[in-house]
Amino acid sequence: MSETKITVIYDNPTDPEAFESAYPADQLEAARKVPGYVRFEASKVWPKEDGSPTPAYRMVDWYFADYDAASAAVTTPEFGAFFQAMGALSTGGVRVLFSDVEVPQQ
């Protein structure tokens, strides 16, 4: 089995300032507490040069050894706490993906 990645894609929030003020404590700290990941990344989408809306706002990625480990992580209280906070913070929408990592980091 190959690595599995769980990605959270936050769409553009209705109030970016409010999102940014809550994000470090409400999402990053909760994301770091999710058990079982091999690697964790958080990123912010660069703004478009013409000022038009970007297709997404921020992303959180957890990498797990395999699908079973990722599936187990989402059943934990820690992931539940992250998910609950994510729902409250994601005023512009949010997507959650499970992906098969075809070319892992070396």
Fold that domain 4-100 belongs to in CATH: Alpha-Beta Plaits (3.30.70)
Domain map (residue ranges) of the chain: 4-100
Mean pLDDT over 68-84 rounds to 97
Q: Is the pLDDT of residue 106 over 90?
A: no
Tens digit of each residue's pLDDT (9 = 90 or more) over 88-102:
999 999 999 999 998
User: What's the whole-model pTM score?
Assistant: 0.90
- Binned at pLDDT 50, 70 and 90, residue 50 comes out as very high
Comparing CA positions, the residue from 60, 3, 5, 65 lying closest to residue 33 is 60
Between CA 23 and CA 65 the distance in angstroms is 27
SS3 assignment, position 31: helix
- Binned at pLDDT 50, 70 and 90, residue 52 comes out as confident
- Binned at pLDDT 50, 70 and 90, residue 2 comes out as confident
Comparing CA positions, the residue from 27, 3, 37, 17 lying closest to residue 81 is 27
Angle formed by the axes of helices 16-23 and 77-89, to 10°? 160
